[in-house]
Amino acid sequence: MSNNQLTIHEAHQLLKSKHLSSVELTKACLERIRQVDDKVRAFVTVTDELALKQAQQADKLIAAGDIMPLTGVPALIKDNICTKGIRTTCSSRMLESFVPPYNATVVERLSDGGAVIIGKANMDEFAMGSSTENSALFTTHNPWDLSRVPGGSSGGSAAAVAAGETVYALGSDTGGSIRQPAGFCSVTGLKPTYGRVSRYGLVAFASSLDQIGPITQDVTDCALVMNAIASYDERDSTSVPNPTPDYTRCLTADIKGLHLGVPKEYFVAGMQAEVGTAIKVAIKKLEELGAIIEEVSLPHTPYALAVYYIIAPSEASANLARYDGVKYGYSYLETDNMWQAMEQTRERGFGPEVKRRIMLGTYALSAGYYDAYYLKAQKVRTLIRQEFDRVFEKFDALVTPTSPTVPFKIGEKTADPLQMYLSDVCTLPINIAGVPAISIPAGFAGGLPVGMQIIGKPFSEETLLRVAYAYEQATEWHKKRPSL
Ligand code: GLN
C-alpha cells in the first residue's frame, strides 16, 4: 500500500514508530494530488508550502515524543470553513478572493492536534446542492466513475478521501452534505448532533441545520477526528456544553442486543432496486452480528423535503444578506449609485442555485406568506422531531440507505432542481430533527458505491460509531479503493 492510502490510525503507528515522517506522508498526498486531481478536481486550493511547513513542525514534535492521534496527518478542509490566511471561497464568485483573518474553531482544534492542512475542497456554491455541479469554479468528479458526480455539497472532501489525495477531510452537512457524498464515494461521513461541533468560522448556509463533521476512510478515523473537533465552544451560542467522550472507546465490534429500527418510509418510491437490495443485505449482516432488527414507521418523513426547502432557503436568504459588496468579498462598483452597486454585486456574485434559494426564502419569509409557509414549516419540523423522539424511546438507532440512488451522471439532474432536491430525501429529516447520523460503505450496485445511513438520538454518536464499526469489521467494503 502506498503512503497516501494510509488511514489516520495506520499513519499514526508509522509516525510514532518513526517508520514514516510527516513530511514523507504529506509529500505522498501532494504527489497523488499532482497525479489525479486534474481528473478528480477535488481541490480549490492546494496549500503545499504551508502543508510541508506544518509537516516539518509535526516531525519536530514527534521527535520530541510529543505525538497526538492527528499529529502530522494531512487534512483537507471544505472551502466554507474559515482558514486564516488561506482563501475560503465557498466555491462562489462572491468569495473567490476572500482570505479570512481567523480560523474556524474546528481548524484551530485540528491545528492544536498537530494536523497538516493540505488544502481546501470544492463544494456546491455556499453548500447548496448535491453534486458539486453548483460550484461556480468547476465540478468535482467521482473517482469511482469520472463521468459521475461525487455527491455534494462536500463532494470535493469525499472525492479526495476516496482518491487518496488526503488522509481525511472535514465537510459540512445541512441536509446531507457530508453523508450523501460519503455514500457516493464509498467513504465514511458523520453528521454530528446539532450543537456537538462548533460552527464558529463555518460560513453560514442555514444556521439551525448546519453542522461540521468528519469524512474519513474508516470508522476508527471518524472517531479520532470527532475526538479532536467535538467540544463546547463559547464562540458558538448553539454549541452544547456536554462533556466530550472518547469516541474510540465504543469501537468494540459488539452490537449484541442493540435494537435497530428500519423505517419503512426511507425505502421510497424512486429508489433504485439495487440500492434497496444492498441495504437489506447490510441489515441482515447487522442481524447476524446480534442486533435486533424491527421495521418501524416515521409517518411524517415525506414532509421533510418540503419543510427543508422552506426553512433552509429562509435562513439562507437572511444569512446571505451580508454579501452586499461592502463588507465581504466581491463588489461591483462600475455603477452610478450604491443601490445599483449592491444589486450588481449580488447579480454577478451569486450563481443560479443561490439566487433561487434567496428568492424562495425571501418569499417564504415575506409579510402575508410567513404564516402560511415559514411558520407552518416550523410546526411540521416539531412534529418530525417528536416522531424521532418517540421512536428512540424503543430503538437504539435506525438504519436506512443514505441515498435512494447510486451516483448519477454529471449533467443528469442539472436541468431539474426538484430531481436534484429529491436525491436528499433520506438525509434531510436528520437535520430537521437535529439528530446525528453516519454514512458508511455498504456495497456496490453496478460497480457504484452504496452508502448505509445509521441514525441515532441526540448525542448518541458513540452508538452510531459502535454499530458502524461492528459492520465495518465484518465487511471489506471500506477497504476498496477506486482505480484512477
Ligand atoms: N443538498 C441539500 C441542499 O442543497 C443539502 C446541502 C447541504 O447539506 N449543505 O440544500
Q: What is the pLDDT of residue 438?
A: 99
pLDDT at 166: 98
Question: How far is 455 from 397, CA to CA, in rounded Å?
Answer: 6
Q: Of all atoms in ligand 1, which is nearest to the CA of residue 423?
A: 1
pLDDT tens across the length of the chain (484 residues): 788 899 999 999 999 999 999 999 999 999 999 999 999 999 999 999 999 999 999 999 999 999 999 999 999 999 999 999 999 999 999 999 999 999 999 999 999 999 999 999 999 999 999 999 999 999 999 999 999 999 999 999 999 999 999 999 999 999 999 999 999 999 999 999 999 999 999 999 999 999 999 999 999 999 999 999 999 999 999 999 999 999 999 999 999 999 999 999 999 778 999 999 999 999 999 999 999 999 999 999 999 999 999 999 999 999 999 999 998 899 999 999 999 999 999 999 999 999 999 999 999 999 999 999 999 999 999 999 999 999 999 999 999 999 999 999 999 999 998 889 989 999 999 999 999 999 999 999 999 999 999 999 999 999 999 999 999 999 999 999 999 9
What is the predicted pLDDT for the residue at 268? 78
CA-based nearest residue to 214, from 60, 70, 86: 70
The pLDDT value recorded for residue 378 is: 98
Distance 180 CA to ligand 1 centre (A): 9
Residue 241, C-alpha cell as written in the block: 456544553
Enzyme catalytic residues: 78, 153, 177
H/E element, 321: none
Region for 288 from its dihedrals, namely left if φ exceeds 0, alpha if ψ lies in -120 to 50, beta otherwise: alpha
Ligand 1 centroid–CA 131 distance in Å is: 9
Contacts of 483 by beta carbon, 8 Å cutoff, 6+ apart: none
Q: What is the rounded CA–CA span in Å between residue 1 and residue 11? A: 12
The backbone torsions φ and ψ at residue 77, rounded to the nearest 5 degrees and listed phi first, read -115, 130
Q: Which of ligand 1's atoms lies nearest the C-alpha of 173?
A: 8
229: nearest Cα among 105, 316, 134, 120: 105
Q: How far away, in angstroms, is 153 Cα from ligand 1 center? A: 6
Q: Report the CATH superfamily, name and number, of domain 3-258+396-479.
A: Amidase signature (AS) domain (3.90.1300.10)
Which amino acid makes up residue 231? S
Q: What values do phi and psi take at 468, rounded to 5?
A: -60, -40
Is 305 in contact with 421 (CB distance < 8 Å)? yes
Q: Which of 73, 123, 81 is nearest to 98 (CA)?
A: 81
φ, ψ dihedrals at 451, nearest 5°: -105, 145
Separation of CA 174 and ligand 1 centre (Å): 5
Give the other-Cβ count within 10 Å of 91's Cβ.
33
Q: Could you tell me which residues come within 8 angstroms of residue 85 by beta carbon, excluding any fewer than 6 positions away?
A: 99, 100
Nearest to 136 by CA among 93, 74, 185: 93
Q: What is the pTM of this model?
A: 0.98
Q: If we measure between CA atoms, which residue out of 222, 184, 142 comes closest to residue 464?
A: 222
Residue minimizing CA distance to atom 5 of ligand 1: 175
Atom nearest to 421 CA in ligand 1: 1
Site residues for ligand 1, CB cut-off 6 Å: 127-130, 153, 173-177, 205, 312, 424
